[in-house]
Amino acid sequence: MPKADILVVIPAYNEEANIVAVVQNLIENYPQYDYVVVNDGSRDHTAELCREHHYNLLDLPVNLGLSGAFQTGLRYAYRMGYARAIQLDADGQHLPQYIEPISQEMDKGADIVIGSRFITKKKPINLRMFGSFIISFAIRFTTHRALTDPTSGMRMLNREMIAEFSHNLNYAPEPDTISYLISRGAKVAEVQVEMGERTAGKSYLNMRAALRYMAQMCTSIFLIQWVRKRETEEVQPYV
Amino acid sequence: MYNLSPALMVILIAGSISTMAYVLLRIRKEKMQIEDALFWLLFGALLIVLSLFPGLSIWAAHQLGVQSPVNFVYLFILFLLLVKLFLQSVKMSQLEEKIRRLSQTIALNEHTAEHHDDALGNAPQADEHK
């Protein structure tokens, strides 16, 4: 049985510059949570560093991308019987001090709680946030729910969602999945958080990737979600 | 007017026969599963039939009201390849999903093996079946 209720899933791809600081902070200052680092087939020393420090590590033999890596963490959470799992980026942008308020929000009965940067703060108007606006609009249009920060990666899932995310195809930890889940009745809440700047290394989100991401999200939210079969009605996951 | 040009016929015959020969050669070298080779065998055979009996496409073009028989040939091949492409896409998706599942399972099992004496690593309480 797990020591804690909450599992912190840390997907890491080529994060040798940040991973130790992020995990060390978690271990030293937040011992009430369990964590697992999912090394997503990194080509640098991420896995070696984790082994050296005896971190709890899931080491993927090949690079699966964020959704595959996060799903690995969720399968682990499911196997180990954790009640809740939260994604924490390995680049130091997600601050663990907000896990507590996010978890408290979940106590009120939400299936998914998103750490949002813009509940009490205004969204800055720049190119990056333009994408966020559009996705917010797409979700509002299709689900009539207003999400202030749909692209935030800091999301907590309850046990039911852990099962659903870990068993099914097309459950990337992305806004389109959130949109789909809202439309089929999942309760999604948001909590105000601050996010840090990435402390070292480089984000792979460049202009081209961002545009691609946007196009994919919008097509997915507007079109694909309508034709999607409700997978949970077919499978019997919550064993 | 309702005819295939001799040049096109020669190209079609040569193309279909060499496609067929290539497919047979590769299957003999066992670089391909029989199930996958079957499509290309049938496809090659179809091309040969179409090129040897232009009357077929002329007839079909006439029946469908396609202006020139050669357009019918294009349309027919295009349609077959489109269907094939779609099926390939489905298959690739499934393969990717399988690779993803397998990699995850490897990572999870490795973790269990590393921590087998650890209280945490013991006996996963519910395993997945999918």
Q: Give me the residue from B97, B108, B130 closest to A58, CB to CB.
A: B108
pLDDT (average), residues B13-19? 86
Q: Which of A129-133, A201-205, A211-215, B63-67 comes out lowest in average pLDDT?
A: A201-205
Radius of gyration over every alpha carbon of chain A, rounded to an integer in angstroms: 17
Mean pLDDT (chain A) is 88
Q: Is the pLDDT of residue B55 over 90?
A: no
Q: Which of A62-66, A81-85, A89-93, A122-126 comes out lowest in average pLDDT?
A: A122-126
pLDDT (average), residues A73-100? 95
What residues of B are in contact with residue A170 (Cβ under 8 Å)?
none
pLDDT tens readout for residues A109-155: 999 999 999 888 887 777 778 888 888 999 998 888 889 998 899 99
- Give the pLDDT score at A40: 95
Rounded Cα gap, residues A233 and B8, in angstroms: 54
Q: Is the pLDDT of residue B125 over 90?
A: no
What residues of B are in contact with residue A79 (Cβ under 8 Å)?
108, 124-128
CB contact under 8 A, A61 and B103: yes
pLDDT tens readout for residues B62-105: 888 888 888 888 888 999 999 999 999 999 999 999 999 999 99
Q: Which of A60-69, A151-160, A210-219 comes out lowest in average pLDDT?
A: A210-219
Q: Percentage of chain A with pLDDT > 70?
A: 90
Instruction: Please give the residue that has the higher pLDDT: either A40 or B42.
Output: A40
CB contact under 8 A, A72 and B107: yes
Which tokens is A237 given? Answer: 């996951």
CA proximity to A139, closest of A193, A192, A182, A110: A182
- Give the pLDDT score at B124: 43
CB contact under 8 A, A68 and B100: yes
Q: How would residue A203 be classed by pLDDT, with cut points 50, 70 and 90?
A: low
- Give the pLDDT score at B33: 75
What ipTM does this complex have?
0.75
pLDDT (average), residues A88-115? 95
- Give the pLDDT score at A230: 57
- Sign of the alpha-carbon torsion through A204, A34, A63, A132: negative
Q: Is the pLDDT of residue A239 over 60?
A: no
Q: How would residue A232 be classed by pLDDT, with cut points 50, 70 and 90?
A: low
Place of tokens 């049938």: B42
Q: Percentage of chain A with pLDDT > 90?
A: 59
Burial of A204 (0-12, 13-18, 19+ CB in 10 A): exposed
Q: Most B CBs within 10 Å: which of A54, A70, A76, as the mutation test of the B interface?
A: A76
Q: Name the pTM for this structure.
A: 0.80
Q: Most B CBs within 10 Å: which of A10, A51, A60, as the mutation test of the B interface?
A: A60
- Give the pLDDT score at B129: 46
Residue of chain A whose Cα is closest to the Cα of B115: A56
Question: Residues of B near A (CB-CB distance < 8 A)?
Answer: 97, 99-100, 103-104, 106-108, 110-111, 120, 124-128, 130
